[in-house]
Amino acid sequence: MSKATDELFKNVISHAKEYGFVFQSSEIYDGLSAVYDYGQNGSELKNNLKTYWWKAMVQMHENIVGIDAAIFMHPTTWKASGHVDGFSDPMIDNKDSKKRYRADQLLEDKIAKYEADGKTDKAAALQAAMDDALKAENLPRLKELIVEQEIACPVSGTRNWTDVRQFNLMFSTQMGAVADDADVVYLRPETAQGIFVNYLNVQKSGRMKIPFGIAQIGKAFRNEVIARQFIIRMREFEQMEMQFFVRPGTQKEWFNQWKEERLKWHLALSIDPAKYRFHEHTKLAHYADAAYDIEFEFPFGFKEVEGIHSRTDFDLSQHQKFSGKKMQYFDPEVNPETNQPYGNYIPYVIETSIGLDRLFLLTLVSAYEEEDLSTAEKQDSRTVLRLHPCLAPVKAAIFPLTKKDGLPEKAREIMDKLKLDYNIQYEEKDAIGKRYRRQDAIGTPFCITVDHQTLEDDTVTIRYRDTMSQERVAAADLERIIGNLVSW
């Protein structure tokens, strides 16, 4: 990361705190590592992002419905899904520095460094060696590579590492008052399994016909070995997932369709398309027959924001095996090749899984601008969040020009009409210029000023965030003007 982008990213993080978007969790106790709270503006922005996703996925698709499954699930769920045995990262400690690392991450950092230094051959060789070791779950080989590369502590003591061991990422806790091994429950590490275990319930109660989808927004928990890059890698985070159930044999088609549709959804947020790219997984998880990530270029480089996975019938088959309940679907449609109905099968699944917190950060860094407004006469600048108006935490701010002459009452009267539909903020403190700057900093698209003329002719000044231009409009027109830009 260059010095300028590093600086900019640090500014975004402090801006997020200063303006009530993101706080470190339990900050008065010096914080809890990799856990964050969303403040008054952050929670509005986050809710708007959820609404945007929910509307696009559930409301706009007749064949997709939404659910809200519990975070706690029967422990067998995680046996069936493979998480109890396989959801782990290789971990290593440096005995000298007493620091803990993810073994693969250490090597990835080294690969990135070789690439940045133009040593592409070295990077490729290390990548191949690491891939082989990971694939074969050869933990001693991973350690060997780390020692060879003298990562993290390139001078003395670099060979003083512990062995590499697997570390399960699920948080566990006890259910009920009596401690007993049988009562161990997990905080879900993904929302997807809540959908799979409800597949039969939703299919039957909703009389869903294949192809159909089930969507869900909810918290997930992972005891990440190391936390990085602000809200990119958290121990408690939120996912927006959709599992789309299809006829076996059609999964490739649906996979391609969802891949394109999800990218379009991102681009509709008016963010620079050059910042997005697809990344194809070459090492597929045991349950997948295709997988792509949608990556976004953050100030610290490209990072996965969303995964689109073709999960075959793995999850439903596993739940059928472990629960003894038939996960089959009867497809009455006639197969033109056999002239017979397709009949009974376990559906295949295409998953789209996006991290809400990463989407939040993507939105924030894309919107953030330190704009130079200097003229020949004077130096000036502002920090503005150029958020899409639909996403802005506050849609409009209302300012009485002064605190007297009936202007506050008039301003509140206008606000009362608008607040039924929009999140509106009233501000009367400080000069108008300062109030504009405060609203720019949280991305409010409109500021409305009530002055003495308003009392005479019911017109107000509306000032637009992006252009800073102002115009006089009838107060009665405000609803239409705001509505035109902020409705979905």
Annotated binding site for ATP: 222-224, 232-237, 304-305, 355-358
- Binding of ligand ATP by 239 (CB under 6 A): yes
Angle, alpha carbons 95-115-139 (nearest 5°): 40
Interface with ligand ATP (CB under 6 A), residue total: 16
Residues 6+ positions from 126 with CB-CB distance below 8 Å: 107, 110, 111, 114, 145, 149
- Select 145 or 294, whichever has its Cβ closest to ligand ATP: 294
Annotated binding site: which residue ranges?
A: 102, 190, 222-224, 232-241, 304-305, 351-358
- Select 307 or 408, whichever has its Cβ closest to ligand ATP: 307
For residues 479 and 96, what is the distance between their CA atoms, to the nearest angstrom?
64
Nearest approach, Cβ of residue 189 and ligand ATP (Å): 8
Strand partners, 424: 396
Annotated binding site for substrate: which residue ranges?
A: 102, 190, 237-241, 351-355
Residue nearest to ligand ATP (CB): 355
- Binding of ligand ATP by 237 (CB under 6 A): yes
Scan residues 306-325 and list those touching ligand ATP (CB under 6 A): 306-307
Q: Check residue 458 and report its DSSP letter.
A: -
- Binding of ligand ATP by 233 (CB under 6 A): yes
In the shown chain, the binding pattern of residues 153 to 192 toward ligand ATP, with x for contact by CB under 6 A and - for none, equals -------------------------------------x--
For residues 407 and 403, what is the distance between their CA atoms, to the nearest angstrom?
7
- Select 242 or 475, whichever has its Cβ closest to ligand ATP: 242
Q: Check residue 57 and report its DSSP letter.
A: I
Residues 6+ positions from 347 with CB-CB distance below 8 Å: 210, 245, 246, 247, 248, 313, 316, 329
In the shown chain, the binding pattern of residues 353 to 392 toward ligand ATP, with x for contact by CB under 6 A and - for none, equals xxx-xx----------------------------------
- Phi, psi at residue 375, to the nearest 5°? -120, 180
Find how far residue 106's CA is from the centre of its chain. Answer: 24
Give which of 354, 67, 73, 70 is closest to 215, Cα–Cα: 67
Scan residues 207-226 and list those touching ligand ATP (CB under 6 A): 222, 224
Nearest approach, Cβ of residue 353 and ligand ATP (Å): 4
Scan residues 337-356 and list those touching ligand ATP (CB under 6 A): 353-355
Cβ(311)–Cβ(288) below 8 Å: yes
- Phi, psi at residue 387, to the nearest 5°? -75, 145
- Binding of ligand ATP by 46 (CB under 6 A): no
Contact residues: ligand ATP, CB under 6 A: 190, 222, 224, 233-234, 237, 239, 304-307, 353-355, 357-358
